[in-house]
Amino acid sequence: MNTADHMPLQGVRVLDCTWATGGPYGTLLLAMLGAEVIKVESPPQVTGVSTRQMLFPAYSHEGEDAHFLTYNRNKKSIVIDLRSPEGRDVFYDLVKKSDVVFDNFRPGVMDRLGLGYETLRKVNPRVICTSLSGFGATGPDREKPAFDVIIEASSGVTSLLQGLLPEGVPPPSYPGVSWADHAGGMAAAFATVAALFGRRNTGKGRKIDIAMQDVLLSMMGYVLTGTANFEDFSDPLPSMLWGTFKTRDGHIVLCGHRDGMWRNLARALGREDWLEDTRYETISGRQKHGEELRREVEEVLAGADTAHWVSVLQDAGVPCTAVHTVKEVLGGPQAAARDMVVEVDHKGVKIKTPGNPLKISGIEERFEAPPPLGAHTEELLADLLGYPEEKIAKLREKGIVGP
pLDDT digits (tens, 9 = 90+) for 174-210: 889 999 999 999 999 999 999 999 999 999 999 999 9
Which of these CATH numbers, 3.40.50.10540, 3.40.50.720, 1.10.150.120, 3.10.129.10, describes 4-219+373-402?
Answer: 3.40.50.10540
- 8-state DSSP, 4: G
Chain centroid to CA 329: 19
Domains of the chain, by residue range, sit at: 4-219+373-402, 241-327
* Share of residues in the chain with pLDDT > 70 (%): 98
pLDDT digits (tens, 9 = 90+) for 242-253: 999 999 999 999
- Angle among Cα 20, 78, 180 to the nearest 5 degrees reads 20
**Is 320 a residue whose pLDDT tops 60?**
yes
Across 157-161, 194-198, 348-352, 362-366, least confident range: 362-366
Q: Is 241-327 a CATH 3.40.50.2000 domain?
A: no
Find all residues with CB under 8 Å of 329, minimum gap 6, and list them.
335
pLDDT-derived band at 5, boundaries 50, 70, 90: low
**Is 163 a residue whose pLDDT tops 70?**
yes
Residue type, 288: K
Query: Cα separation of 379 and 51, whole Å?
Result: 22
C-beta of residue 152 within 8 angstroms of C-beta of residue 175:
yes
Q: Please check whether the two domains, 4-219+373-402 and 241-327, share a CATH topology.
A: no
Q: Residue 53's pLDDT is what?
A: 83
C-beta of residue 322 within 8 angstroms of C-beta of residue 254:
no
In this structure, are strands 60-61 and 341-346 parallel, antiparallel, or unpaired? Answer: unpaired
Q: Residue 3's pLDDT is what?
A: 46
In this structure, are strands 75-80 and 401-402 parallel, antiparallel, or unpaired? Answer: antiparallel
**Is 6 a residue whose pLDDT tops 90?**
no
HEC readout, 219-256? HHCHHHHHHHHCCCCCCCHHHCCEEEEECCCCEEEEEC
User: pLDDT averaged over the chain?
Assistant: 96
**Is 45 a residue whose pLDDT tops 90?**
no
